Chain A
Amino acid sequence: KAGVTQTPRYLIKTRGQQVTLSCSPISGHRSVSWYQQTPGQGLQFLFEYFSETQRNKGNFPGRFSGRQFSNSRSEMNVSTLELGDSALYLCASSLWLAGGPKSGANVLTFGAGSRLTVL
């Protein structure tokens, strides 16, 4: 069973550019979440999508956006990149069974991440 696939794994951009990261969830998983990980701020929630709808959003500026396609694949975009956007961006997918987000059945499975460096 294939895991969560994130592309690209590594990328380098310069300030002011934009970047698009892709995430393919585990087959059958309909929920996709994105997290940013930095040494200073740790792991921070960006947003979560289910059936092409954004259900929850973290406290990030509007430069950070995302979307989910009908096949559950998701992309996130960061426009007008800043040095502080350098981070590991992690995507996670989960089933959506009865019991909701607190159920153990809805454990998040993470991808290997996309490491973004902004110069």
Chain B
Amino acid sequence: AQKITQTQPGMFVQEKEAVTLDCTYDTSDPSYGLFWYKQPSSGEMIFLIYQGSYDQQNATEGRYSLNFQKARKSANLVISASQLGDSAMYFCAMRAGDYKLSFGAGTTVTVRA
């Protein structure tokens, strides 16, 4: 069974500062993919970044970077230079042995001006 844990229900961050969202996972499958999605209040899930279990380097996509620590089963998302438009719910997700994407409970980020 796969499990994703996000322990931060909500976070506040000042505009232009960086914020780190925690994600830990558990799987017995040696091959897996880790994903981060953003869900604004409109409801649509927006893909942010992907990290494969065999990738040697941490993934980066613009202001998003993934701090992947395989031994600790950790895949934290770092958002640099936060903007007001970053206020949303953020989900960590994993795909391992089957076809489904398993999601964590999510972290609400509120960016303050």
Contact = CB atoms under 8 A, between A and B. Distances in A.
Given A43-B91, A101-B95, A102-B33, A107 B100 contact: no
Interface string A34-60: 010000001101001000000110100
Interface residues of B, number: 26
Please report whether the interface of chain B is mostly helix, strand, loop or mixed according to DSSP. loop
B60 to A, nearest CB: 13
Contact of A111 (B33, B44, B53, B102): B44
Interface in A75-101: 88, 90, 92, 101
Chain A interface category by residue count? 20 to 34
B105 interface: yes
A95 B105 CA distance: 26
A101 to B, nearest CB: 5
A58 B91 contact: no
Interface of B: 31-33, 35, 37, 42-47, 50, 52-53, 91, 95-96, 98-106
19 contacts: A33-B100, A35-B101, A35-B103, A42-B106, A43-B103, A45-B102, A55-B99, A56-B98, A88-B43, A102-B53, A104-B33, A107-B50, A108-B35, A108-B45, A108-B47, A110-B45, A110-B47, A111-B44, A112-B42
Interface of A: 31, 33, 35, 42-43, 45, 48, 55-56, 58, 88, 90, 92, 101-104, 107-113, 115
